[in-house]
Amino acid sequence: MKDTLQIIPIPAFKDNYIWLIHNGRVAIVVDPGDAAPVLETLNRLNLQLHTILITHHHHDHIDGVFALLDAFTEADVHAPNLEKYAFRHNAVNETDVIELADFNIQATVIEVPGHTLGHVAYYIKPLESQNKIDNDGGLLFCGDTLFGAGCGRLFEGTSTQMLDSLNKLVTLPANTKVYCTHEYTLHNINFALSLEPNNQALIERFGETVKLRNAQQPSLPSSISLELATNPFLRCNSSEIKSSLRLLNVSYLETFSAIRELRNHY
């Protein structure tokens, strides 16, 4: 899969990425909040839009869909069944598998409520009928659920829902590549360091991320293993984090909720 498909981050707005996946002929876009940069990229690379994947209903993730469908009338759109959309789409639910034979991949739908109640993620692997690439953990397009060193705000869901959703994602293979839709990583790392300043993996990630951003390169994709090592929302059992929060005898969920509340105001 990684030898045949290219994945391009298309910057949009202040800090969004619209991910474009292509094989040199046809393309998939994830969460196109703005059509203009997508159309420019498709035109420049001489690509036809084949599929649109939507993770949730916020405007910065969907506002480009109508214009893209006007330009590519045969493109398919997949969006969460538990949310409402004005554009034509295929409604998807947990464990649905979208087969994308033109790309030799399939996308499994994972319901990840928390940021919104109907939010989904798409976990992409080669088609089962094809030979899998050794050591390929797949690709996770998780919208605003899991961020680099962070997680999404709880606009509609609860801490319990978000924690359950994150727990689903971290059961994926450790080398799964994580593609979220905002460039929040450096700010998230700074926050994480305020809770766990002696985490060597986090310190190293800070340095690497600074280099990337100074070179005007995306900090993404991440990986499940990197998030487990550096993301405070996945490290609620860390004694250093609990000590920083002065929450030594509370549940994992209570620690998670406290971290989320602090991050809201950081």
Tell which phi-psi region holds residue 159, choosing left (phi > 0), alpha (psi between -120 and 50) or beta. Answer: alpha
pLDDT score for 128? 66
CA quadruple 17, 76, 7, 175: dihedral sign:
positive
- What φ, ψ does residue 212 adopt, rounded to 5°? -60, -45
**CA 202 to CA 232: how far, in whole Å?**
10
pLDDT score for 167? 97
Residue 224 belongs to what H/E stretch? helix 224-230
Strand-strand pairing, 222-223 and 177-180: antiparallel
Structure-token pair, residue 266:
């950081």
| Digitized pLDDT (tens) for each residue of the chain, 266 residues in all | 444 799 999 999 999 999 999 999 999 999 999 999 999 999 999 999 999 999 999 999 999 999 999 999 999 999 999 999 999 999 999 999 999 999 999 999 999 999 999 999 999 998 864 444 445 689 999 999 999 999 999 999 999 999 999 999 999 999 999 999 999 999 999 999 999 999 999 999 999 999 999 999 999 999 999 999 999 999 999 999 999 999 988 999 999 999 999 999 99
Structure-token pair, residue 191:
């926050």
**CA 53 to CA 89: how far, in whole Å?**
10
pLDDT score for 4? 78
User: The pTM is what?
Assistant: 0.94
Give yes or no for a contact between 66 and 44, defined as CB atoms under 8 angstroms apart. no
CA dist 59 to 32, 85, 90, Å?
A: 9, 11, 19
**CA 190 to CA 229: how far, in whole Å?**
15
Structure-token pair, residue 29:
């876009």
Residue 123 belongs to what H/E stretch? strand 120-126
Structure-token pair, residue 48:
């036809």
pLDDT score for 248? 84
Nearest to 199 by CA among 164, 226, 219, 166: 226
Domains of the chain: 6-264 (3.60.15.10)
pLDDT score for 2? 45
CA dist 106 to 15, 125, 206, 255, Å?
A: 28, 6, 33, 36
**CA 264 to CA 226: how far, in whole Å?**
23
Give yes or no for a contact between 61 and 31, defined as CB atoms under 8 angstroms apart. yes
